[in-house]
Amino acid sequence: MEKEEVKNEIENFIIYHCGSNDDQLTYLLSCLDAYIDNDHIINEEKVDILEGASDIALKANGLDDAIIGLTQHGLIIYDYNKCIDIFMKENDWDYNEAVEWMDFNVLGSYNGSGSPIFLING
């Protein structure tokens, strides 16, 4: 499903469920636009990968575009370099800022046996 089709379906859902509350409707539609404009819609390939994930597998928030696969045990594998690119783009950081954030806040956190895997390519 194309991004515009998804947006239209979600808009229709919001309009149907919000009724005539113009302030709430305007707010939700602006959130939707911002969300879609930042490419936060997961493509079908990522959905297929995530459907195969283990029940204990944890997702890293905001890094869906960096998902590259699953381990044999169903843990989610992310591309480290793509994560860095996402942090640079989303936060207007330079490379070193993104690496520092990634290494300390993402790689440095352990959330149990379902923690995601980050593949570092040279």
62-100 pLDDT per residue, tens: 999 999 999 989 999 999 999 999 999 999 999 999 999
Same domain assignment for residues 59 and 109:
yes
pTM of the model: 0.64
Same domain assignment for residues 112 and 67:
yes
Q: How many structural domains are present in the chain?
A: 2
Same domain assignment for residues 64 and 92:
yes
Same domain assignment for residues 104 and 67:
yes
CA 78 → CA 20, 34, 86, distances in Å?
Answer: 42, 24, 12
R_g of the chain computed on alpha carbons = 17
Same domain assignment for residues 49 and 32:
no
Domain residues for the domain of 86 are: 44-119
Same domain assignment for residues 14 and 69:
no
